[in-house]
Amino acid sequence: MKVIEAPLDGCLIIEPEVYSDSRGFFYESFHVERYRKEAGLNLPFVQDNFSYSERGVLRGLHFQRTRPQGKLVRVTHGESFDVAVDIRRGSTSFGQWYGLILSAENRRQFWMPPGFAHGFLALSETLAFEYKCTDYYQPEDEGGIAWDDPELAIQWPLQNGVPLKLSVKDSSAPMFSAYRDEIFL
């Protein structure tokens, strides 16, 4: 597998080795020893999540306040624009974002260590999105940041004529500045 350092401190892009022939393809989507040795992912994964979305669905930016989750994300069907925002106070990339295309075709995975807000936009007609987490989801610990925060200025690849579909919670999430004094990461 190929491990690429992303511009945010601690984030990685992982490209698995894919074996293809006329019948299709095969690749290891996770192997605890290889990911530990080759990518330095030493945290235990305790929860796997699956999300299905239609084109235009934007989910995020979500995080856990006191029990942050590291996430290893990938797309198994379709295409998404995946975004991480560093909310770790004292980090060299605090308040910065990074986004990349994840798709079933490119088979890339994106690792965000604990302390990042995460979101994604479904670019394809349908999207199947999977992620491994290093801590359990705690509804009472969840926080959110506005997807369109002008300070973060995330360059979402919005598609002409495709309406955004947001949850009530995501459409009313506070700005990044509201979290600066609350962050314990």
Q: What is the pLDDT of residues 106-120, one digit of tens each?
A: 999 999 999 999 999
**For range 157-185, the mean pLDDT:** 85
Which pLDDT belongs to residue 47?
96
Q: Considering the candidates 131, 136, 137, 179, report the single residue annotated as catalytic.
A: 131
pLDDT digits (tens, 9 = 90+) for 140-152: 999 999 999 999 9
- Tokens representing 52 are 């299905």
Q: Considering the candidates 31, 35, 52, 62, report the single residue annotated as catalytic.
A: 62
What is the rounded CA–CA span in Å between residue 116 and residue 104? 23
Q: Specify the higher pLDDT residue, 81 or 179.
A: 81
Considering only CA atoms, which of 9, 26, 35, 2 is closest in space to residue 112?
A: 9
Report yes or no: 152 and 176 within 8 Å, Cβ to Cβ: yes
What is the rounded CA–CA span in Å between residue 158 and residue 167? 17
**For range 89-95, the mean pLDDT:** 93
Which pLDDT belongs to residue 107?
96
- Tokens representing 93 are 């990339």
Considering only CA atoms, which of 92, 75, 81, 93 is closest in space to residue 152?
A: 93
Residue 42 in this model has a pLDDT that exceeds 70? yes
Which pLDDT belongs to residue 28?
84
What is the rounded CA–CA span in Å between residue 134 and residue 113? 9
Question: Rounded to 5 degrees, what angle do the CA atoms 132, 115, 141 make?
Answer: 80
What is the rounded CA–CA span in Å between residue 13 and residue 85? 15
The DSSP line for 79-143 is EEEEEEEE--TT-TTTT-EEEEEEETTT--EEEE-SSEEEEEEE-SSEEEEEEEESS---GGGEE
Mean pLDDT across the chain? 94
Q: Does the annotation mark 62 as catalytic? A: yes
Report yes or no: 113 and 10 within 8 Å, Cβ to Cβ: yes
Residue 185 in this model has a pLDDT that exceeds 80? no
The DSSP line for 152-174 is T-------TT---B--HHHHTPP
Q: Which residues are annotated as a binding site for substrate?
A: 23, 28, 47-49, 59, 71, 118, 142, 165
